[in-house]
Chain A
Amino acid sequence: AQSVSQHNHHVILSEAASLELGCNYSYGGTVNLFWYVQYPGQHLQLLLKYFSGDPLVKGIKGFEAEFIKSKFSFNLRKPSVQWSDTAEYFCAVNAPGTYKYIFGTGTRLKVLA
């Protein structure tokens, strides 16, 4: 069955700490990969996406993610977090050309000022 696992459900960091959120997927065939963020009281917004090419993808607000095909992983990273990064982060996959996204259960990040 298609699935996405986010192993860290809650993460608490101090400002300037480095961030890495794990995402593993189980999906037969080629995939597109996404990270979305949901700030408190706001819509889900796209942080970054991977369709093909360079497996290291850079997104908005200094976030990046690396697609490792052999590990079925797409981990999100940021070298130095800010208080404003406090939010819930969702990893998602879908098959190219389709609009059915499979989401992980999300990781709540709290950054302490």
Chain B
Amino acid sequence: KAGVTQTPRYLIKTRGQQVTLSCSPISGHRSVSWYQQTPGQGLQFLFEYFSETQRNKGNFPGRFSGRQFSNSRSEMNVSTLELGDSALYLCASSFVGTGADNEQYFGPGTRLTVT
């Protein structure tokens, strides 16, 4: 079974621009979560989607948004980029169903650099 895939793997953007990152979950996984990883801060939860609905949201400004499609693929968007948005953005997917646990499977991440 293929793992979680994220595209692109690397991205360089300029302050003020916007960016869209993509995540394809493991086949059969319907929950997709997004995290921001920075040195010193660790991983911080952005949001979680299930059945095209945002179920949970972290403490990030409204510039960070996401969506999920009917095939469970997810995108996150960051508008008006700031230097502090430079980070590794991780996507994680989970199987949701009877007897399923909460285990999340992580993708390789998208390294975003804002200049």
Contacts and interface: CB of A to CB of B under 8 A. Distances in A.
Interface of A: 32, 34, 36, 42-46, 49, 51, 90, 92, 94, 96-106
Contact of B56 (A32, A92, A98): A98
**7 A-B pairs with the lowest CB-CB distances in the bound complex, closest first:** A105-B42, A103-B43, A44-B106, A100-B56, A99-B48, A99-B31, A106-B42
Contact of B55 (A43, A51, A99, A105): A99
B90 A44 contact: yes
Indicate the member of A44, A45, A103 with the most B CB atoms within 10 Å: A44
Contact of A46 (B35, B40, B41, B103): B103
Given A43-B3, A44-B90, A102 B45 contact: yes
Given A99-B55, A103-B35, 18 more contacts: A32-B101, A43-B4, A43-B106, A43-B109, A46-B103, A51-B101, A92-B43, A94-B102, A98-B102, A99-B31, A99-B50, A99-B94, A99-B104, A100-B56, A101-B33, A102-B45, A103-B42, A103-B44
